[in-house]
Amino acid sequence: MVVDGDEYSVDDRVRGIVNSLASRGAPVEGLQRDSVCNQVYISRVTVGGRSLRLLIAVNGDYSMPFKRRCLEDHCVKLMGREVVEGVESSKQLVSVDECLEYMGE
């Protein structure tokens, strides 16, 4: 599962997903932060009596000065776009389509 961080910390975003799954009858067990990337969590979820591996990856570059975290944060950095004061989201600076086109060059 890949989600944008939005206005939440990584831990709060993951906790919200875990709580949402549990409230829908899909309890999450053994939640652990990945040893390589601190924005990835690994666990197991039980759905319909089956235990499945669950990976939760939270998008966003938390070193950037945006209020909302998303995939486009990484595109801003990759493309070398200037972050000007007053910009609340990287989506105001670049789109995923622009980023994919840039990478194809």
Q: Is the pLDDT of residue 105 over 70?
A: no
The helix (run of H) or strand (run of E) holding residue 57 is strand 50-59
**pLDDT by residue (tens digit) across 22-74?**
999 999 999 999 999 999 999 999 998 999 999 999 999 999 999 999 999 99
Q: What pLDDT score was predicted for residue 84? A: 87
Q: Is residue 92 domain-shared with residue 55, that is, in the same domain?
A: no
Q: Is the pLDDT of residue 83 over 70?
A: yes
**Overall number of domains in the chain:** 2
Q: Is residue 55 domain-shared with residue 75, that is, in the same domain?
A: no
> What residues make up the domain containing 92?
62-105
Domain boundary residue, one of 59, 81, 97: 59
Q: Is residue 49 domain-shared with residue 94, that is, in the same domain?
A: no
What does 30-50 look like in DSSP terms, one character per residue? EEEE-SS-TTEEEEEEEETTE
Q: Is the pLDDT of residue 97 over 70?
A: yes
Q: Is residue 11 domain-shared with residue 42, that is, in the same domain?
A: yes
Q: Is residue 66 domain-shared with residue 54, that is, in the same domain?
A: no
